[in-house]
Amino acid sequence: MARPKKPTAHLELVGAFKKNPNRARDTEPVCNAPVIIPPQLSENGKKAWDFIVGNAVPGVLTAMDSAYLGLCAESLAHCWWGEKVTITDRRTVGAMLGKMGMTPSERSGVVVPKKEESAGLSFKDLARKV
């Protein structure tokens, strides 16, 4: 089985492009817009949506993930409030949540770049100016 691709943000954080800068991928899409709840979700789907978005790693889910997240929310709602829930349904939801980094093993592979510090002066900078 082929090794899955690592996100460019992960490769940058671990310094993979320092030795081989020509391997950097310029075509990876980037989206900073927040997720948008689809109006088609059922009431239970909206509850599951709120649960997933509220417990996701900050900075991972974006507007590009809204459709997949909606499918996951409806599937999770079916597992929580549905009448005939099968093991296959539960496995599907587990796999979907795992793809979003919401299982313990998958969360270890999630890499979110830290936000840069404010541009204000540090204590050392202030000490130098005095």
Q: Which pLDDT tens digit goes with each residue over 27-54?
A: 767 777 888 999 999 999 999 999 999 9
Give this prediction's pTM: 0.69
Contact 35, 62 (CB under 8 A): yes
Q: Which of 54, 57, 4, 9 is nearest to 31 (CA)?
A: 9
What pLDDT does 130 receive? Answer: 40
Contact 41, 69 (CB under 8 A): no
Residue 128 predicted with pLDDT over 50: no
**Domain of 92, in residue numbers:** 31-109
Residue 115 predicted with pLDDT over 70: no
The reply to whether 120 falls in a domain is no
The reply to whether 75 falls in a domain is yes
What pLDDT does 15 receive? Answer: 80
The reply to whether 22 falls in a domain is no
Residue 104 predicted with pLDDT over 50: yes
Q: How many domains does the chain have?
A: 1
What pLDDT does 37 receive? Answer: 93
Contact 112, 57 (CB under 8 A): yes
